Amino acid sequence: MTNNEFPKLRPVQIRPSAQRPGHYDLTDPSGIAPGGLSLSPAALSAVMQMDGRRRRVDIQAEFMRRHGTLLFSDDLDRMIEQLEKALFLEGPFFEAHMAELTRQYRAASCRPLWGDAATEPRRLAVFFDELFGESSLASSGQAELLGLVAPHLDYERGRPCYAPAYRGLARRTRAGRFVLLGTNHFGRGAGVVGTRQDFETSFGVVSCDRGFLRRLEDRCGGDLCEHEYDHVREHSIELQVQILKHLLPGRSFTIVPFLCPDICGPSGTAPASGRGVDLRIFAEGVRAELAADPVPTCVIAAADLSHVGRYFHDDRELDADTLHAIESSDRLVLDDLLRLDPEGMRERLAEAGNPTHICSAGCLYVLAQVMKGRAAPRLLGYHQAVTAELENCVTCAAIEFLST
């Protein structure tokens, strides 16, 4: 029998089962739990009570109240044991599994490509050549590209903003290092999460600047890589590294990858768990380290904006009026970025409760903090990627930050 007296369910995705009508499928959006579970509505109601605060007897009492029947202790124990073995519950069993996964990740020669990014190199190269041909939108003159906002949508849906963000990159920046700021969509880290691993791409491996990372950790006074396994299935940075390696084939450059947390909750820039480096302190550390380091560096925020529609559990119809309202809301946030006012952006989103579900406020905040007084921003593009059949809309933008 399991000794988990206060069972706590990990973050899961719950959807009606396509294979078992009337049941619900539990899956792990982080991918740590490789499989899924199918539960009856009654079993699901018990599982949803597993919040780490309720004891077994509390779960049984609530089950009786809702269903008018007993949930026997043996049945509950089997349910908890099944959830533990499937890696859906927090606790020692899950932590031991995570420790082994992290050990394997750190022992590997590099972070491997994941999911759809593992595209056949020749086909991807042809796509990139078509997408990133020269454009009048690319900056001209002697100003140096110091920072960039680009999407982390898949390349096809995000192409109206990927294209102006990255076209002409080789002549726009002398950077020998790219600090990459992504979104931690499903990871465990409540604060900023770095990784010391090199990144595999379709065109070769890109090295991590571990020296820069160590110096930054000293400035921040904390371990930025405690939860670096979060990078394994996170796509936001990976998509940028693929582009960089293709567009700069003859240049020796390094990356320093970080995943940034949400800043719209009650804890603000501090980690919600109380554990980890405050995002404001991290941004100040990046700024100070760039000022002290002579290597030309470009900072890229891999950022999407709003997520609306029923696919994202949002009841708004994706009609013309809704899309216009979403754009108006997005442009207020973009205006804050273009004024290099990260605190204004954070306060705007936090006070409103981030109603359009902007997922990348954290990395946009850091980029704006780092660029203040160093660069002049210019909006290159804004795009709404609407997938009507899935009832979803994701918005994005392209912004360059040029030296002043």
Give me the pLDDT at residue 120, please.
85
282, 289, 193: which is closest to 234 by C-alpha? Answer: 193
Tokens 């989103």 sit on residue: 349
What does DSSP assign to residue 116?
Answer: G
What is the C-alpha to C-alpha distance for residues 365 and 15, in angstroms, rounded to an integer? 33
**pTM exceeds 0.85:** yes
Q: Are 92 and 84 in contact (CB under 8 A)?
A: no
186, 174, 166, 295: which is closest to 242 by C-alpha? Answer: 166
Pairing of strands 392-403, 193-194: unpaired
The Cα-based distances of 306 to 166, 264, 320, 378, 396 in angstroms read 21, 13, 16, 20, 8
Q: Are 309 and 158 in contact (CB under 8 A)?
A: no
The mean pLDDT values, 10 residues at a time, for the chain of 404 residues are 80 91 93 92 96 95 95 95 95 95 97 77 93 61 90 96 97 97 93 97 97 98 96 95 96 97 94 91 98 97 97 92 97 97 96 96 98 97 96 97 96
Give me the pLDDT at residue 322, please.
96
Q: Which domains does the chain have, with CATH numbers?
A: 13-101 (no CATH), 111-403 (3.40.830.10)
What is the C-alpha to C-alpha distance for residues 174 and 251, in angstroms, rounded to an integer? 9
Residue positions counted in the chain: 404
What is the C-alpha to C-alpha distance for residues 397 and 3, in angstroms, rounded to an integer? 49
The letter for the amino acid at 280 is R
